[in-house]
Amino acid sequence: MKKIVFTTESGADVPKDLAEKYDIKIVPMHVVMDGNDYKDDGSLPVTEIYEYHDRTKLIPSTTSTNPNEYEEFFAKIQQDYPDCAIVHIGYTSKASSSFHNAEIAVEDFNNIHLIDALNVSAGLSVVVLYAAELLEENPEITLEELVTKVKASVPKSRMVFVPGSLEFLKAGGRVSNAAYIGASLLKIKPMIELVDGKLVSTKKYRGKMNRVSLELMQDYLDKYPIDRKQIYFVFSIGLAESIKTQMEAAAMEKGFKKVTWIEAGSVISTHGGPGAFGIAGLEQ
């Protein structure tokens, strides 16, 4: 059988060790800050984004991978693995032009299969890693069956998160000044959920993150029948270690066999701010 190569964008935040284990190829998105365009490939420390906001009260802008970058990316893979099949599992088309740019890029290629994951960060990682594990467990699976199963997993991937800083949402124009002031005074934290590929605020919590994270998990598990084999926790730099320990223990109490932590990269951290926390998993 021809080699199958999985690809995705840096906005998936696939942990480096898992990307290496499954030979997942990552194409970077972009962060624009102080007039400079940085690739989201780990070369821009997330702390510099936070420092930029502290200094300017602004947040950087983020941009998608462009068609030329996709063309070079796919061409390099096919050069390294002649006759391979590429399965690209992309960042939601409802919140970025990246997927559309990938569609433009593949017009002159053969054997590249595009799947819109309708998700971001850990929710996108869930689909990518499901695909990689599926192939590992079923090495004789046909490409057509693999693509069909991965597409079927897309609506089963569920992610919710709580931003660590309302200041970042305000700076990015995602909340009004009045809403920001009211939420700050009441210590309100919005739950952001991926609904049909779009980022939507579906609930509000009040209190500190150690309390909010537990409430978020309970609401998440009450709403979605998540497979207890695996749960993913996503965080941005600044989340307290005590909360990580607390959530590990909570996951074990809920019957999860494995917990994987995913650190948000520059693109996702630009919007979530420091100390963000989220949960992702795959429905049974």
**pLDDT by 10s per residue, the chain, length 284:** 689 999 999 999 999 999 999 999 999 999 999 999 999 999 999 999 999 999 998 889 999 999 999 999 999 999 999 999 999 999 999 989 999 999 999 998 999 999 999 999 999 999 999 999 999 999 999 999 999 999 999 999 999 999 877 676 655 444 444 333 344 434 678 888 988 998 888 888 988 999 999 999 999 999 999 999 999 999 999 999 999 999 999 999 999 999 999 999 999 999 888 999 999 999 99
Give me the residue spans of the domains in the chain. 4-31+63-154, 157-282
The CATH number of the domain covering residues in 4-31+63-154:
3.40.50.10170
Residue 171's pLDDT is what? 52
Name residue 228's amino acid.
R
- The half-sphere exposure of 31 on its side-chain side, counting CA atoms within 13 A, is 26
Task: Find out whether 26 and 107 touch, Cβ atoms under 8 Å.
Answer: no
CATH fold, domain 157-282, is Hypothetical Protein Tm841; Chain: A;domain 3 (3.30.1180)
> CA dist 242 to 102, 245, 260, Å?
40, 5, 16
Residue 199's pLDDT is what? 84
Residue 139's pLDDT is what? 95
Residue 277's pLDDT is what? 97
Kindly report the three-state secondary structure assignment for every residue of 95-157.
CCCHHHHHHHHHHHCCCEEEEECCCCHHHHHHHHHHHHHHHHHCCCCCHHHHHHHHHHHHHHE
Q: What is the pTM of this model?
A: 0.93
Residue 187's pLDDT is what? 64
SS3 assignment, position 48: helix
Same fold, 4-31+63-154 and 157-282: no
Residue 118's pLDDT is what? 97
Residue 182's pLDDT is what? 40
Q: What is the largest CA-CA distance in the chain?
A: 60
